[in-house]
Structure 1
Amino acid sequence: MGPQGTDSPVRVNGRRFRVNIMSAVAPRGAVWFTVFTATFDSEVFIRFLARPARQAGRRVHVIAGRHPVHRSKTVKAWLEENAGRIELHLMPGYSPEPSPGEILNAGIKRHVHPARTRSADDLAHETRRFLHQRQKQPHTIRGYSHARHARYTLE
């Protein structure tokens, strides 16, 4: 402990891992996701969008934030080429209510603990495991879209 009025040193183990997650949550209970450690760019986003567009069996409406990648020329061109399969809707700049995807992310933060992992790969594995479990629980996912505080869903 330091003298009164000064900060006490805090010991840390130096292990800090992070992974990136993208998810799409359907009101009917489906979840698509990707967990990656690379930089988020147009190529990563397009690969992600291609999966629900291919697997959903109908036209997909994706609601996304206003990240520069979501508005890039490359993404816009891909969306034009695939207009019959997918449509991207951008959320308003200020959105205080959580989207179903943000509710899913909150679950990840509650159940996947970085302090219990030994590497970024281990953290990615635990995150994927949690998301695979959620994919098998469509009743839980449907609840994300119908939560009284959730907004920005398309039926």
Structure 2
Amino acid sequence: MSEFSTKGRMHFMVFTESFDVTVMCRFLARVVGHFDRNHLIVDRHSAHHSKTVRAWLADHQDEIELHFLPSYSPDLNPDKLVNADLKRRLPHTHRARNRTGLASETRRLFHLRQRQPHIITSYFKAPHVRYTLDE
């Protein structure tokens, strides 16, 4: 999972378990404080709008806000460009032979991206995610 800004900052969390409300709340707790106010664009995954996540967000409403994409619109999700970047790069550098190795390689690539803000900002220049630049 990742959070990134139009100014090229990126924060991420690699997890190997199934994505659920526990993982979502753990990610939210990690990203709070990275920016003055966090605005996360999320899809309609059940964990994103679960009762547990809504309660967590209510306790942190001055720090973070979720913005839900319309149903069935993955093309509008800027995070999909991060995932595509990861999938494009890993075959060239992939040395992992198991889940732990893949998580390690993912962290390595994302740490590299954190030092390349020009690539992070390029995610927002795709025509279908330009709406995110209206800050």
TM-score, with normalisation over the residues of structure 2? 0.89
Paired letter, 1:150: V
Whether the 8 Å contact between 2:74 and 2:80 is mirrored in structure 1 is no
Residue 18 of structure 1 is matched in structure 2 by: none
Alignment of 1:3-152 (within 5 A): 22-56=1-35, 58-95=36-73, 97-113=75-91, 116-151=95-130
Q: Following TM superposition, by how much is the alpha carbon of 1:134 offset from its aligned partner in structure 2, in angstroms? A: 0.4
The runs of 5 or more residues in structure 1 that have no matched partner are 1-21
Secondary structure of 2:62's counterpart equals coil
Q: Whose Rg is larger? A: 1
Whether the 8 Å contact between 1:25 and 1:100 is mirrored in structure 2 is no
Secondary structure of 2:14's counterpart equals strand
Q: Following TM superposition, by how much is the alpha carbon of 1:148 offset from its aligned partner in structure 2, in angstroms? A: 2.3
Whether the 8 Å contact between 2:69 and 2:76 is mirrored in structure 1 is no
Q: In structure 2, what is the Cα distance between the partners aligned to 1:115 and 1:137?
A: 20
Secondary structure of 1:88's counterpart equals strand
Paired letter, 2:28: L
Q: In structure 2, what is the Cα distance between the partners aligned to 1:105 and 1:124?
A: 13
Q: Following TM superposition, by how much is the alpha carbon of 1:75 offset from its aligned partner in structure 2, in angstroms? A: 0.2
| Structure 1 residue ranges (4+ consecutive) displaced by more than 3 angstroms after TM superposition | none
The runs of 5 or more residues in structure 2 that have no matched partner are none
**Percent of counterpart pairs with the same letter?**
48
* Counterparts in 2 of 1:151 and 1:66: CA distance versus 1, 3 Å: farther
* Counterparts in 2 of 1:116 and 1:98: CA distance versus 1, 3 Å: farther
For residues 95-152 of structure 1, the C-alpha deviation after alignment (integer angstroms, 9 at most, x for no partner) is 2534321111101001113974211111111111001100111111111112223255
The structure with more helix, counted as a fraction of residues: 2
